[in-house]
Structure 1
C-alpha cells in the first residue's frame, strides 16, 4: 500500500484572466477549483493509474470539507485528520499575460493532531511506501520529516521524499528509498547551476553518498536523470508535446515512477512511467489520466 502525507492541503482556485490589470476590476474568462498539495497530487495520479493508495494529512473548515469531497468524487481514498481551528488554505492562481499565485497560510496544527498522525502511521506494514511531499506549515517543526522517518525506522518501509533545501538534505541520513529534486533544487543544494543531464549525474551520486538510495531528478523539457542503488544510471529526453500546465508535473512523475516500480520492480521501466506521467500532466489542463500517460509512454 502507498500512503501520501500532505501537511497543508489546499483548494487551488485557478482563474484565466485575459488581461489582468492591478488596481482595476478584472473578470475571468474561465475558472476551476481543484484539490491541491503535492502529496494529494501524487495520490490523484496514482488513483488515475489504478494504484491503490491512501492520502493522509490535515484538513479544516469548509475548505477542508471541499477538499475531501473533491477527492471522494474522484474515488480517491483519504484518511485526513480534521482540525478544530481555522480552515484549509485557498491558493489563488491567476493565468494572464503572466502567471501570478497567491498561496494561503493554512490552519495551525496542534501537538494533539500530530499525535493522531503518528497513530495512523503505526498501522503501516513492512513493504508499504510512504510519500512525504511539500513544504511544512509554520505551526510545525521544520524537522517533522526527520521525526517521522526516525519514528518509523524499525519498519521496513520505502519512504519517498519530494522536498527542497534543508528539508530534503536533513532526511538523507535516514536513507530514504527515493528522493526527487529537480535540477534547480539539486543545484541550489550544492551551489551550482545544472542545465544538462550529464551535469546532474555526479550531483545525484553525491546525494546517494549522503544517504539516499535512489535519486530521480526531473528537468522539465530536458527530461530526467535516475541514479539507482544498484549502480545504474539512466538519462532520458523529455517526450515531445505542448506544455499546457506545469503544476503537478513533478508530483505526477513521482506517482508514475512508483506505479511503474510496483508493477515490474524495474528502475528503467519506472523511469519511463515517471516521465510519461509527468509529461502527460504537463500536456493537460488537469492531472494526467491513465490513458494519457500510456499514450505518452508509447512515444518514449
Structure 2
C-alpha cells in the first residue's frame, strides 16, 4: 500500500470572477470546495489510476471532518490524527487575467500530536511506501519529518518526498526513493537553475541531487515539462497540447500521483509513467481543483518524450 502524509491539509475554495478591483464588492461564480492538501491529491490520483492509496494527516474541527469525509467518498481510506483548532481553508481566485492564491497557515500541532502520528505509522497495515507532501503546520518540531522517515524505514518501507522546505535537503541524507521538486524549489533550496531547453544543465542538477542522496528525481517545470532521472538514465517529457490554464494548484501533486501509479510497481516503465503524468498535469490545470481527469487519455497522445542520457 502507498500511503500519503499531508501534515497541513486544507479545504481549497476555488472561485472565478470577471476582474478584481479594491474597495468594492466582487461578484464571484463557479465556487468549488474540495478536500485538499498535496498528499491527498497524490492519493486521489493514485486511486483514480488503479493504485490503492490511504491518507494520513492532522485534522481539526468542522473543516477537518469535511476533508476526511470527502476523501473517503473518493475511495481513499483516511487515518486521521485529530488535533485542536480548525483545519485551514485556502482561497484560489481566478480573475480572468490573473490567479490569486491565498494560503493560510493551518491549525497548530503539538509534540503530543506528532507522537500520535509516529505511533500511527508504526501500526499501519501493509506499509510499502509513504509519500510526504506539502507544508508543515505551525508548532511542528524541527525533527518531525526525520522521525517520520526513520519510522517508515524501521517498517521496511520506502519514502517519496515533495516538500518546498529547506528540510528537503536534510532528508536527502536518508536516501528517499523519489523526490519531486519543481524548478522554483530547485533554485530556492539547492541554488540550481534549470530550463526545458538546457538538457546539459538539467543533467548536472539531477546528478547533484543524486549525490546528495535522492535515488530518483522527478523535476517538474509547469507547462514547460519535466525531467526524470533514476541515477543511470534521464528523460525529458512535456505535453504539447495547448491547454487553457484555470488553476495550477493541484497539478504537481496529480502529476506525481499519476507517475507513481505506473512507475512504483515497475521501474522499467519510465516513459509510460511520464506520459500519464504529463497528460494528467495538463488536464488538471484546466480545472478548479483536481477535476475528474476526463481528458487524460486524449492528452496522452500529445506527450513527447526524449531520453537525454
Match of 2:47 in 1: 47
Match of 2:85 in 1: 86
Q: Give the direction of change, closer, same or farther, for the CA distance of 1:263–1:289 in structure 2 (3 Å limit).
A: farther
Tell me whether 13-22 or 190-199 shows the greater mean CA deviation.
Answer: 190-199
Q: Which SS does the other structure have where 1:195 is aligned?
A: coil
Tell me, yes or no, if the aligned pair for 2:128 and 2:158 is still in contact at 8 Å.
Answer: yes
Match of 1:215 in 2: 217
| 1:52-78 deviation line (CA, Å, top 9, x unaligned) | 110100111111111122222222221
For the residues of structure 2 that align with 1:270 and 1:280, how far apart are their CA atoms? 15
For the residues of structure 2 that align with 1:162 and 1:148, how far apart are their CA atoms? 14
Q: Report how far residue 275 of structure 1 moved.
A: 1.9
For the residues of structure 1 that align with 2:118 and 2:160, how far apart are their CA atoms? 17
Instruction: Work out whether 1:154 is the aligned partner of 2:157.
Output: no
Q: Which SS does the other structure have where 2:55 is aligned?
A: strand
1:19-168 alignment, distance < 5 Å: 19-83=19-83, 85-96=84-95, 97-124=97-124, 128-168=128-168
Q: Report how far residue 288 of structure 1 moved.
A: 5.0
Match of 2:250 in 1: 248
Tell me, yes or no, if the aligned pair for 2:175 and 2:213 is still in contact at 8 Å.
Answer: yes
Tell me whether 205-214 or 10-19 shows the greater mean CA deviation.
Answer: 10-19
Q: TM-score, normalised by structure 1?
A: 0.92
Q: Give the direction of change, closer, same or farther, for the CA distance of 1:127–1:272 in structure 2 (3 Å limit).
A: farther
Instruction: Work out whether 1:3 is the aligned partner of 2:6.
Output: no
Match of 2:271 in 1: 268
Match of 1:235 in 2: 236
Pairing partner for 1:200 from 183, 202, 223: 202
Q: Report how far residue 277 of structure 1 moved.
A: 2.1
Structure 2: gaps spanning 5 or more residues: 304-309
Count of matched residue positions in the alignment of Structure 1 and Structure 2 = 298
For the residues of structure 1 that align with 2:253 and 2:136, how far apart are their CA atoms? 16
Q: TM-score, normalised by structure 2?
A: 0.89
Q: Which SS does the other structure have where 1:277 is aligned?
A: helix
Match of 1:185 in 2: 185
